[in-house]
Amino acid sequence: MPRKELETLQLTRLKHLVDYCMNNVPFYHKRLTEAGVTADKIKCLSDIQYIPYTTKADLRDNYPYGLFAVPLKDIVRIHASSGTTGNPTVVGYTRNDINNWSDCVARFCTAVGVTDEDVAQISFGYGLFTGALGLHYGLEKIGCSVIPISSGNTQKQAKILKDFGASVLVSTPSYAMYMSEVAHEMGITNDDIKLRIGLFGSEGCTDALRDKIEKGFGLFSTDNYGMSELMGPGVSGECEHRCGLHIAEDHFLPEIINSQTGEVLPRGEKGELVITTLTKEGIPMLRYRTKDISRLHYDTCKCGRTHVRMEKVQGRSDDMLKIRGVNVFPSQIEDVMAHIDGISPHYELILTRKNYTDNLEVRIEINDVSLLESFSELERLQKEAAFKLKTVLGIQAKVTLVPPRTIQRYEGKAKRIIDKRNEEE
């Protein structure tokens, strides 16, 4: 669609969205009224700047269903991702939302050459995470034969990949890398497998890792991006030229802002990506602050698509970590620790990568030195902390208890995260 036509469509959808939010979500009604914004006030796309931002904290404060715009009767699916503290971020989809979602995913898969001849192995974990079911529906829409193997049990993954003749692999890039090494250890060579395309996302991937995966599996590796609050995968994806990820702009209106001041930045500048969902019915998002850092390119791509391209995500403006594809906030860990007697609020998170798999170690001070004399008490505390962390984070962490006052203190902002993951690559 020519950009002019696209922008007209976006404006019509934006005005409708403002009305829709005003009439169906009390939270937005209040926000928009306070800001003096009505659909009539939106005369051009840049008038979006008068609409207040929405943040993850707004979802948390309205947990679980407070931002839904329709009754649960009209919701056909619920997903969730990590919140900053105890409660997850909950999202709901109407039947139309699921249809649009499958379309968006089908689009980026098609843009890299996936067809109905393909057999796609989905190695994302099925569950509340949006990755697996999002890709599943999109690939089925194209007509692929989908293998919903889910994540884990890597030897079995490698065997199925070979035996079922999978031509498309869906996973995080780090898991793909690990799987290729396991496959080779099992004696499976690239001649034994039919893989041709990798649809990788949910976490960043350096060029070095991309090259290694391509060599390891003999496939063409592509990047796609999304987040639960906006839909899941399908917000953007690379085309065969891999020069940025095309955003599905008929469904998502992107902006780049200065994350410190909230000011909208001119086209082409780097900053925090903010997205407004133009068609979502279940839980529409007005100017959602993704906290992901990127840059937008509006010139037409070699592939002919007019949809804007976002650069690969270059980091976050907050402290969220992606560990084995799961969002982890240090504040969640702090929250867990605060509720365990015998543990102090001083901790350090150490991230390492072995066999392309992330490992998290949480080092925490005990608050009473006499505990060091009781092995059984220490073991009990350590088990309790590990169990509670697993429950909240959804991933296993190694807990190491250390004596009081052994973790460094900071006068300014504490440096609690020691990320050594890129040292392996």
Binding site for ligand DLL (CB under 6 A): 81, 130-131, 201-204, 223-228, 232-233, 290, 292, 313, 316, 322, 327
CB of 228 to ligand DLL, least distance (A): 4
User: Which residue matches tokens 């052994």?
Assistant: 406
User: With respect to ligand DLL, which residue has the nearer C-beta, 272 or 348?
Assistant: 272
265 and 271 Cβ atoms separated by less than 8 Å: yes
CB of 394 to ligand DLL, least distance (A): 11
Residue, CB closest to ligand DLL:
201
Q: Which of 408, 392, 328, 317 is nearest to 360 (CA)?
A: 328
HSE, side-chain direction, 13 A CA sphere, residue 10: 24
User: With respect to ligand DLL, which residue has the nearer C-beta, 192 or 214?
Assistant: 214
Taking phi over 0 as left and psi of -120 to 50 as alpha, with beta for the rest, 287 belongs to left
Query: How far is the C-alpha of 69 from the C-alpha of 74, rounded, in Å?
Result: 10
User: With respect to ligand DLL, which residue has the nearer C-beta, 189 or 206?
Assistant: 206
CB of 204 to ligand DLL, least distance (A): 4
Q: Which of 156, 96, 90 is nearest to 128 (CA)?
A: 90
Q: How many helices (H) and strands (E) are present in the chain, helices listed first?
A: 10, 20
398 and 359 Cβ atoms separated by less than 8 Å: yes
Residue 239: strand, helix, or coil: coil
User: With respect to ligand DLL, which residue has the nearer C-beta, 44 or 208?
Assistant: 208
Query: How far is the C-alpha of 128 from the C-alpha of 93, rounded, in Å?
Result: 13
Q: Distances from the Cα of 153 to the Cαs of 119, 165, 175, 376, in angstroms? A: 20, 18, 11, 33
CB of 171 to ligand DLL, least distance (A): 9
190 and 217 Cβ atoms separated by less than 8 Å: yes
CB of 407 to ligand DLL, least distance (A): 27
CB of 311 to ligand DLL, least distance (A): 10
User: With respect to ligand DLL, which residue has the nearer C-beta, 184 or 316?
Assistant: 316
User: With respect to ligand DLL, which residue has the nearer C-beta, 238 or 365?
Assistant: 238
User: With respect to ligand DLL, which residue has the nearer C-beta, 198 or 233?
Assistant: 233
CB of 378 to ligand DLL, least distance (A): 34
